[in-house]
Structure 1
């Protein structure tokens, strides 16, 4: 059972578009046409006005979306940081820092690659997560990504900037635009905001240098191949010259945030289980744009989902939330059932790790992304990053 809690503000409402009733979607479509027109005018104004696009003295690689979120962008940015480092590059990550509280007076260094300086509330949950996961890679935030990039170059001397969620950030010139597309979305049937999830019309994909399909693993096995073929055909109609790749999301490990987790308390050697939650009841906790992914991974790895506390994206957790999870766990025990473990994501874990849990068994599920057909992907990257 997935239950949404705490509708807080309009940006977070957009994360819950999957829950809109069909009638509400239909009524919102006229606003979507106006939104699309406004987006086109805004982009044209940014590009064509004098000095409209800023260029940095090092290559800029953008990882972006055409939709409002939930495509796997953050783990893909981590993958790109690791890939670039393995190629001998010195990347720095630049992000807007959605929800951050401290960047209004200028760019903020979340991490210098060695030490993390900002809390999740100061940096935003996703930049903080990238700062924790991307060892050796500086992370800088500011709405003006060009300013953040200049600070990164001045302080850390990177030879490539990795731009997080910047496909619609028209003020900064890029050398490589990578756009993720979630296979759960139909390119021909997904409306523009506010009726649907699209930030731009699908034709905007012609600006991309590559499209990466994601989240086939969240579909039923019998659906995957048909959906893949249908989506590729639709994307090719909108962007016929853009190469298409595919990435998968896998459970790569876990860490205990609080309490005792019982058997299988160490990660399995082969990476495919059994996990501490395999065969056991679990309570899921997440604040994601599309929380169904955590539910799919929990079930695929053997968890028996009791309930999913699905908060709106970027939700800030507090003691009242922890009390709700504890009450449900106590109710299960009082009914004579096994007490559930609590599973959450790494993105949520950075916000939960400072909250008192008082022994609640909370496990952070660690995921990673892998690009399928790695030789073709690596050849593409090498060709684009080393044109001569």
Structure 2
């Protein structure tokens, strides 16, 4: 979808997930409520089944997930956490489902190690491929996370494995469950799909060892008073997600360069569930957004998409996209110095980071790291 100005950036159905709707929107929402009830029953039955069939991985397992669809900063936080543990001398791997990837016959695939992507972005999935550009440890993708963990452990001992987007992957036991909530997006109307953004009822949050509230610079929190009261009954940590650098492509490799977008005529291109935060960051960096091209989340870009992007740029200066889009766009012959990605990073105050370390590392991993 093309526009000369950024739009709300959310699928139409998401506009029915707000707490206050017009009478016309209420009429559209009511049929979704019935489907939501059926979905809730299915989720409950699935949870009961996997509580009985749950398996352990045999290694410290940390899940990074959420309760809602899209836009909570899971991938940047997974990179942040994996790199933080690695900097403490721990042997860390990441396992992801690799949503939207082109699957082969193997139950699990090693897609990256030592910062090198070993397969194509299509085979890895865009988010695992993106993580491989920033994290030097091993990364595996598998439909069953346990298969991915076993693949990594066959390659050598690990102190910890981080599961990307796995809060609902109940078949696997985990030692620490982290649930991320984007403060600006909140939890919508609190209803489950498709009548709301929730993957599970709010009560599922009690499984979490800690809630990480992500501030993406979106202003006031969208969480209701009752939602905040429920969240504050648990351990709550705070983190900020911000733009760190631009990523440029030089001789086939990615290189960070300082952000210098003041006054630059920028075409924003993204395949995100909710690109509004992306636009907000570009505006905060004082870029002149001459237009936007929005594609579906995890979009597989084609040659016709590339031509559309080049044509849309016109007399503009540069195209700025996201890292998970760049892994799929870098194969196209863009004019030199015309395509960049905005690299994001997670920041935590020292006290918050120390609390995260205490929750995750603990004495067991500290001892392991000291002996390795």
Equivalent position of 1:246 in the other structure: 238
How is 1:240-279 mapped onto 2 (pairs within 5 angstroms)? 240-257=232-249, 267-268=257-258, 275-279=259-263
Q: Secondary structure at the match of 1:218?
A: coil
Give 1:67 deviation, angstroms: 0.7
Indicate whether 1:306 and 2:307 are aligned: no
**CA separation in 2, counterparts of 1:68 and 1:237?**
22
Residue 126 of structure 1 contacts residue 347 of structure 1 at CA under 8 Å; is this kept in 2?
Answer: yes
User: Judging changes above 3 Å, is the alpha-carbon distance between structure 1 residues 59 and 192 closer, same or farther for their aligned structure 2 residues?
Assistant: same
Equivalent position of 2:343 in the other structure: 366
How is 1:84-95 mapped onto 2 (pairs within 5 angstroms)? 84-95=85-96
**CA separation in 1, counterparts of 2:12 and 2:211?**
24
Give 1:277 deviation, angstroms: 2.1
Give 1:197 deviation, angstroms: 1.3
User: Judging changes above 3 Å, is the alpha-carbon distance between structure 1 residues 188 and 296 closer, same or farther for their aligned structure 2 residues?
Assistant: closer
Equivalent position of 1:283 in the other structure: 267
User: Judging changes above 3 Å, is the alpha-carbon distance between structure 1 residues 25 and 246 closer, same or farther for their aligned structure 2 residues?
Assistant: farther
Equivalent position of 1:144 in the other structure: 144
Give 1:347 deviation, angstroms: 1.1
Q: Deviations over 1:344-379 (max 9, x none)?
A: 1111111111112244711111111112x3223323
Equivalent position of 1:45 in the other structure: 49
Give 1:57 deviation, angstroms: 1.5
Instruction: Say how many residue pairs are matched.
Output: 349
Equivalent position of 1:211 in the other structure: 211
Query: Structure 1 stretch 247-256 or stretch 158-167: which is displaced more?
Result: 247-256
Equivalent position of 1:343 in the other structure: 320
**CA separation in 2, counterparts of 1:115 and 1:186?**
35
Residue 62 of structure 2 contacts residue 178 of structure 2 at CA under 8 Å; is this kept in 1?
Answer: yes
Q: Secondary structure at the match of 1:316?
A: coil
User: Judging changes above 3 Å, is the alpha-carbon distance between structure 1 residues 258 and 153 closer, same or farther for their aligned structure 2 residues?
Assistant: closer
Equivalent position of 2:103 in the other structure: 102
Give 1:133 deviation, angstroms: 1.1
User: Judging changes above 3 Å, is the alpha-carbon distance between structure 1 residues 319 and 188 closer, same or farther for their aligned structure 2 residues?
Assistant: closer
TM-score (norm 1): 0.83
Q: Secondary structure at the match of 2:170?
A: coil
Give 1:143 deviation, angstroms: 0.8
Equivalent position of 1:353 in the other structure: 330
Residue 113 of structure 1 contacts residue 139 of structure 1 at CA under 8 Å; is this kept in 2?
Answer: no
Residue 254 of structure 1 contacts residue 363 of structure 1 at CA under 8 Å; is this kept in 2?
Answer: yes
Give 1:86 deviation, angstroms: 1.7
Equivalent position of 2:300 in the other structure: 316
Q: Secondary structure at the match of 2:64?
A: strand
Equivalent position of 1:36 in the other structure: 40
Q: Deviations over 1:178-204 (max 9, x none)?
A: 000111234472321112211001111
**CA separation in 1, counterparts of 2:104 and 2:12?**
27
Equivalent position of 1:377 in the other structure: 353
1:27 to 25, 31, 39: 31
User: Judging changes above 3 Å, is the alpha-carbon distance between structure 1 residues 211 and 266 closer, same or farther for their aligned structure 2 residues?
Assistant: closer
Q: Deviations over 1:24-71 (max 9, x none)?
A: 3333121112111210111101112xxx11101111000001011110
Equivalent position of 1:156 in the other structure: 156
Give 1:114 deviation, angstroms: 4.5
Q: Secondary structure at the match of 2:85?
A: helix
Residue 218 of structure 1 contacts residue 297 of structure 1 at CA under 8 Å; is this kept in 2?
Answer: no
**CA separation in 1, counterparts of 2:186 and 2:165?**
21
Q: What is the RMSD of the two structures over their aligned residues, measured on CA atoms? A: 2.5
Give 1:164 deviation, angstroms: 0.5
Residue 66 of structure 1 contacts residue 202 of structure 1 at CA under 8 Å; is this kept in 2?
Answer: yes
Q: Deviations over 1:132-188 (max 9, x none)?
A: 2101x1000101101111111111321101001000001100000000011123447
Give 1:384 deviation, angstroms: 4.1
Give 1:4 deviation, angstroms: 9.7
Indicate whether 1:18 and 2:25 are aligned: no
